[in-house]
């Protein structure tokens, strides 16, 4: 019985000693390789695990918001030692990387908030139709990553005629945002969709699907005589046109299938009669246009309808004359002179 008690006591003592020996090792400060902070200073507790009572001691200045910096591991250990933190397990890495995350405020976010604030007011359209131009260049601004609220418009003045505006913002929950220049001036323009040219066109050049695109342009520039992109394809330029030009009704015409002075084939067809002769167009024309054509056989000008490239047709209601002899077998056949 006594031996059993002695053995139990000895085992308990040895276990206590082992725990006492392992406790310091478990709580030894251990250097971190990757550090993320949200304050202006890097503290001991950010750099090492188990910093204890010294965890709140500031060791380095933090990187700027939204930036990452690195410090040699040896320098970090020396800095911590100077503050009384010793016995640091530095691991096997050469440097400590410190990141200070942030929330960014971009030009796009500012202009979006301004268009939302102006939409449907002061005679303007919806937000999608508004284009905002700021008077000053705007670099991306950084605030605390924890500041997740939306920007709030605190002041907005607009001159409807000129589109000039003056807007101020605040960001709830952000201390750093109070130091930022969150007042903006500029102009707002209402835009509409318009069909524009991707490339320059020569006079008479036919428009292909790849030649046009839809862009938003200021409403004051577009007017009401624009052409839908689907209707523009297949038409031709009525005059030379430049890339980026808005397509208007007067700029387009049906493509000419017959050019002036072009040699054409004249088709004449009525019940019982079908003739084909060569001629020369005295004017150009698109499909369905009635143009003058010089009959090469009679040397007389007739009126014919453009039917296709180099092809014209004379109908029964249009006069037709050609050098030929009357048919003996069919006295009723019209005489062709």
Quickly tell me which residue has 């005295």 as its tokens. 282
**Which residue is it, tokens 């007389």?**
300
Question: If residue 41 lies in a helix (H) or strand (E), which one and from where to where?
Answer: strand 41-43
Q: What is the reported pLDDT for 297? A: 85
Residues 185 and 115 in one domain: yes
Indicate the residue among 137, 171, 189 that finishes a domain: 189
pLDDT of residue 317: 63
Burial category of 120 from C-beta neighbours within 10 Å (exposed 0-12, middle 13-18, buried 19 and up)? exposed
Q: Containing domain of residue 213, as a range?
A: 193-254
Which pTM value belongs to this model? 0.61
Does 164 lie in the same domain as 131? yes
312 with 334, same domain: the answer is yes
Q: Are residues 96 and 140 in the same domain?
A: no
Q: Which residues contact 127 (CB under 8 A, 6 or more apart)?
A: 112, 115, 116, 118, 119
Q: Are strands 301-308 and 311-314 parallel, antiparallel or unpaired?
A: antiparallel
Shared domain check, 91 and 145: no
Q: Does 231 share its domain with 304?
A: no
Q: What is the pLDDT of residue 254?
A: 87
Q: 189, 210, 240: which is the final residue of a domain? A: 189
C-alpha distances in Å from residue 243, one per residue of 33, 211, 270, 289, 302:
56, 9, 48, 29, 40
Q: Residue 10 has what pLDDT?
A: 38
- Write down the pLDDT at residue 90: 87
241, 259: one domain: no
Q: Give residue 328's pLDDT.
A: 36
Contact 260, 284 (CB under 8 A): yes
Per DSSP (E only), the strands in 135-272 are: 141-144, 152-159, 164-170, 183-197, 212-218, 236-237, 252-253, 256-258, 263-270
Residues 323 and 291 in one domain: yes
| CATH code for position 11 | 2.60.480
Extract the residue ranges of the chain whose pLDDT is less than 50: 1-25, 322-337
Same domain flag for 259 and 302: yes
From 66, 100, 134, the end of a domain falls on 100
Contact between residue 18 and residue 31 where contact means Cβ atoms under 8 Å apart: no
Determine the Cα–Cα distance for residues 7 and 258; give it in Å rounded to an integer: 119
DSSP 58-85: EEEEPPPTTEEEEEEHHHHHHHHHHTT-
Total domains, the chain: 4
Tell whether 269 and 303 lie within a shared domain.
yes
Same domain, 263 and 250: no
Three-state secondary structure readout of 261-301: CCEEEEEEEECCEEEEEEEEECCCEECCCEEEEEECCCCCE
273 and 242 in a common domain: no
Which residues, 6 or more positions from 139, have their beta carbon under 8 angstroms from its beta carbon?
Answer: none
């Amino acid at each position: 019985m006594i031996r059993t008690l002695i053995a139990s006591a000895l085992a308990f003592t040895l276990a206590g000693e082992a725990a006492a020996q392992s406790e310091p090792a478990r709580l030894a400060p251990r250097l971190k390789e990757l550090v993320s902070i949200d304050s202006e200073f890097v503290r001991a507790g950010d750099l090492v695990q188990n910093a204890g009572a010294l965890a709140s001691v500031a060791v380095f200045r933090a990187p700027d918001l939204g930036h990452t910096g690195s410090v040699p591991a040896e320098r970090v250990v020396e800095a911590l030692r100077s503050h009384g933190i010793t016995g640091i397990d530095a691991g096997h890495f050469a440097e400590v990387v410190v990141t200070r995350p942030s929330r960014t405020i971009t030009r796009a976010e500012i202009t979006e908030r301004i268009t939302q604030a102006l939409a449907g007011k002061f005679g303007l359209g919806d937000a999608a139709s508004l284009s905002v131009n700021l008077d000053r260049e705007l670099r991306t601004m950084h605030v605390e990553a924890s500041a997740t609220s939306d920007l709030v418009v605190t002041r907005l003045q607009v001159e409807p005629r000129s589109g000039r505006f003056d807007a101020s913002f605040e960001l709830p929950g952000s201390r750093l945002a109070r130091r930022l220049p969150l007042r903006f001036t500029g102009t707002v323009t209402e835009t509409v969709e318009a069909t524009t040219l991707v490339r320059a066109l020569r006079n008479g050049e036919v428009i292909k699907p790849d030649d046009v695109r839809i862009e938003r342009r200021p409403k004051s520039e577009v007017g009401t005589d624009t052409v839908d992109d689907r209707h523009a394809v297949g038409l031709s330029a009525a005059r030379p046109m430049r890339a980026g030009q808005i397509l208007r009704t007067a700029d387009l015409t049906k493509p000419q299938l017959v050019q002036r002075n072009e040699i054409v084939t004249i088709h004449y067809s009525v019940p019982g009669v079908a003739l084909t002769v060569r001629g020369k167009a005295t004017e150009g024309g698109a499909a369905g246009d009635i143009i003058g054509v010089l009959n090469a056989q009679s040397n007389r000008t007739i009126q014919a309808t453009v039917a296709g490239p180099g092809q014209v047709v004379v109908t029964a209601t249009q006069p037709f004359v050609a050098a030929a002899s009357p048919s003996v077998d069919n006295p009723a056949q019209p005489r062709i002179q």
